[in-house]
Amino acid sequence: MKHQVDFFAGALAARGIGTGDVVALQAPNIPEFVTAFHGILRSGATATTVNSMYTAEEVARQLTAAEATMMVTVSALADNAVAGAEQAGLSTDRIVVIDDDGVHPALTGMLGEAHPAPEVDIDPAEHVAVLPFSSGTTGTPKAARLTHRNLVANTCQIQDLLPVHPGVPMQAVLPMFHIYGLTVLMNFGLYRRAQVVTMAKFDLEEFLRIVQDHRIQASFIAPPIAVALAKHPLVDKYNTDSLISMLSGAAPLDGTTAQAVADRLGCEVGQGFGMTELSPVSHLSPFGQHIYPHGSIGPAVPNVETKLVDPASGEDIDVPSDEESPAGEMWVRGPMVMKGYLNNPQATEATIVDEEWLRTGDIATYNPGGWFTVVDRLKELIKYKGFQVAPAELEALLLEHEKIADAAVIGVPADDGNEIPKAFIVPQVDAEGVTAQLSAEEVIEYVTSRVAHFKKVREVEFIDEVPKSRTGKILRRELKHSA
- The residue among 5 and 172 lying less far from ligand 4UW, judged by its C-beta, is 172
Closest CA to 319 of 306, 332, 304, 303: 306
| Cis-peptide into 427, omega within 30 deg | no
Q: Which of 7, 8, 54, 273 binds ligand 4UW (CB under 6 A)?
A: 273
- List binders of ligand 4UW among 174-213 (CB under 6 A): 179-180, 184
- The residue among 4 and 276 lying less far from ligand 4UW, judged by its C-beta, is 276
Count Cβ atoms below 10 Å from residue 457 Cβ, excluding itself. Answer: 24
Pseudo-torsion of CA 178, 182, 184, 186, nearest 10°? 140
Q: Angle formed by the axes of helices 56-66 and 78-87, to 10°?
A: 50
- The residue among 248 and 351 lying less far from ligand 4UW, judged by its C-beta, is 248
Q: Which of 21, 32, 268, 362 binds ligand 4UW (CB under 6 A)?
A: 362
**CB distance 396 to 447 below 8 Å:** no
- The residue among 19 and 289 lying less far from ligand 4UW, judged by its C-beta, is 289
**CB distance 418 to 385 below 8 Å:** yes
Using rule CB under 6 A, residue 4 touches ligand 4UW:
no
Pseudo-torsion of CA 302, 303, 305, 306, nearest 10°? -40
- The residue among 25 and 78 lying less far from ligand 4UW, judged by its C-beta, is 25
Site string for ligand 4UW, 122-151 (x = CB under 6 A): ------------x-----------------
Q: Which of 44, 175, 224, 272 binds ligand 4UW (CB under 6 A)?
A: 272
- The residue among 73 and 245 lying less far from ligand 4UW, judged by its C-beta, is 245
Residue 63 φ then ψ, to 5°: -60, -40
Using rule CB under 6 A, residue 359 touches ligand 4UW:
no
Q: Which of 77, 128, 130, 297 binds ligand 4UW (CB under 6 A)?
A: 297
Closest CA to 51 of 343, 457, 455, 417: 455
CB of 329 to ligand 4UW, least distance (A): 11
Q: Please identify, among the stretches 56-64, 72-80, 88-96, 360-368, the one whose residues bind ligand 4UW according to the rule CB under 6 A.
A: 360-368
Count Cβ atoms below 10 Å from residue 140 Cβ, excluding itself. Answer: 17
CA distance 381 to 387: 10
Query: At 344, is the secondary structure helix, strand, or coil?
Result: coil
Name the residue with the smallest CB distance to ligand 4UW.
249
Site string for ligand 4UW, 242-261 (x = CB under 6 A): -----xxxxxx---------
Q: Which of 29, 348, 360, 418 binds ligand 4UW (CB under 6 A)?
A: 360
Closest CA to 371 of 288, 279, 280, 273: 273
CB of 85 to ligand 4UW, least distance (A): 24
Using rule CB under 6 A, residue 374 touches ligand 4UW:
yes
CB of 238 to ligand 4UW, least distance (A): 23
CA distance 359 to 351: 5
Residues 6 or more apart in contact with residue 109 via CB below 8 angstroms: 100
CB of 255 to ligand 4UW, least distance (A): 12
Count Cβ atoms below 10 Å from residue 259 Cβ, excluding itself. Answer: 14
Q: Please identify, among the stretches 35-43, 271-279, 300-308, 345-353, the one whose residues bind ligand 4UW according to the rule CB under 6 A.
A: 271-279
Q: What element of type H or E holds 341?
A: none
Which residue type sits at 96? V
* DSSP string covering 207-270: HHHHHHHHT--EEEE-HHHHHHHHH-GGGGGS--TT--EEEE-SS---HHHHHHHHHHHTSEEE
Burial class (CB in 10 A: 0-12, 13-18, 19+), 95: buried
CB of 436 to ligand 4UW, least distance (A): 35
- The residue among 43 and 137 lying less far from ligand 4UW, judged by its C-beta, is 137
- The residue among 272 and 427 lying less far from ligand 4UW, judged by its C-beta, is 272
- List binders of ligand 4UW among 275-294 (CB under 6 A): 275-276, 280-281
Instruction: Report how many residues bind ligand 4UW under the rule CB under 6 A.
Output: 26
Closest CA to 341 of 64, 192, 133: 133
Binding site for ligand 4UW (CB under 6 A): 134, 179-180, 184, 247-252, 271-276, 280-281, 297, 360-362, 374, 377, 383, 388
